[in-house]
Amino acid sequence: GAVVSQHPSRVICKSGTSVKIECRSLDFQATTMFWYRQFPKQSLMLMATSNEGSKATYEQGVEKDKFLINHASLTLSTLTVTSAHPEDSSFYICSAPTRPPSNEQFFGPGTRLTVL
């Protein structure tokens, strides 16, 4: 099946620093990727839709200047958490849908961000 990778799997940083998370589709091309965030014992909340070659679409309440998304190629999307604060500590997961007619989405393994 399709594989999506994320890097890094875990990151610990100091408050005020920026953190970049990469999401790669390994064996298929993804013109669209999705970024989710999951707090402990909560469900996955969609943050933004990453579109190859155009600007990302952010969900209501998500600061686009804080969570920078770049979809540089058909296999890579990056999420940069700028000036991270402890409240940004969360589990960040990307996903990519395969092309039609398949309707499946494949999730990356997730990135655990801890901001001290």
Nearer to another protein, 17 or 24 (CB): 24
Nearest to 25 by CA among 4, 44, 11, 7: 4
Among 13, 44, 68, 76, binds another protein (CB under 8 A): 44
Does position 73 bind another protein by CB under 8 A? no
- Amino acid in the structure at residue 66: K
Q: Which two tokens stand for residue 10?
A: 């875990």
Which residue among 7, 13, 28, 46 contacts another protein (CB under 8 A)?
46
Of the candidates 87, 111, 94, the one whose C-alpha atom is nearest the C-alpha of residue 16 is: 87
The answer to whether 110 contacts another protein (rule: CB under 8 A) is yes
Q: Could you give the CA distance from residue 37 to residue 29 in angstroms, rounded to a whole number?
A: 23
Find the shortest distance in angstroms from Cβ 83 to another protein.
26
Q: How far apart are CA 31 and CA 66, in angstroms?
A: 23
Angle, CA of 78, 62 and 67, to the nearest 5°: 30
Interface residue with another protein among 53, 61, 86, 101 (CB under 8 A) is 101
Name the minimum Å distance from CB 5 to another protein.
11
Instruction: Indicate whether 68 belongs to the interface with another protein (CB under 8 A).
Output: no
Q: Which residues bind another protein (CB under 8 A)?
A: 31-32, 34, 36, 42-46, 49, 91, 93, 95, 97, 99-110, 112
